[in-house]
Amino acid sequence: MNHWNDIDATISAAGWVLYPLTGLAVAALAITFDRAYALWRFARVPDVADASDDPALAVERLPRGHALRRIAPFFADGALPIPQIEARVEAAALRIEREMSRGLWLLETIVTAAPLVGLLGTIVGMMHAFRLIGGDGLVNPSGVTGGVAQALIATALGLVIALVALFAFNYFARRIDRLMEDVEIFANERLAVLRVAAERGGRSGAAR
């Protein structure tokens, strides 16, 4: 019971700044869970290290909407010229990167906004504490300590939220970079196959 009383007292001491900080924390968690699920479902790269495993079959086993599965059909149309296939793949890769990065701008904003909101609570709490100091000295010791507690708690909460959002943002940014590298590798491999086939076809036609 004392533990819950301490938590309630801490929340009460944080003051009004707890509400915007709570909103930032909820937004950061929502974006984190959403991007974690999206990257887990649509950005996992199939393991095709086994030579007996056909890469095309591995891609087909991926869930619908996966990044690699979205660009694979471009290489199935042999009637298109290679430059046109490259242009379509590049456009699809840009759309994939934009979709995978959805909401990360807000997460990056929270990294900066949370400490500033906490700092605002710090300033308000210190102003409240200093107003209780009269011209003849200390008037209300409990009020002064409450204002200082509000200032410190607001700063601590803002820093904690910013740290969590920062780690999540950096992790997702790195995962997206790796995804785009995998997409580029996959596309280059398929384009190399198409170029070799086109060269062989040209040589066969010239021989005839």
Q: What is the pTM for the complete model shown? A: 0.76
Cβ–Cβ < 8 Å for 162, 119: no
Query: Under 8 Å CB-to-CB from 175, ≥6 apart: which residues?
Result: 39, 43
Q: What is the pLDDT along the chain (208 residues), one digit of tens a residue?
A: 454 454 455 555 556 778 888 899 999 999 999 999 988 888 876 654 443 455 566 677 777 778 888 888 887 766 778 888 888 889 989 999 999 999 999 999 999 999 999 888 888 777 766 666 654 555 555 555 655 666 678 888 899 999 999 999 999 999 999 989 888 888 888 888 888 877 776 555 555 5
For position 23, what pLDDT does the model report? 93
CA distance 86 to 51: 26
Q: How far, in Å, CA of 30 to CA of 103, rounded?
A: 10
Total residues found in the chain within this entry: 208
Question: How far is residue 204's CA from residue 208's CA, in Å, rounded to a whole number?
Answer: 6
- Taking the C-alpha atoms of residue 119 and residue 158, their distance in angstroms, rounded to an integer, is 8
Cβ atoms of 185 and 67 within 8 Å: the answer is: no
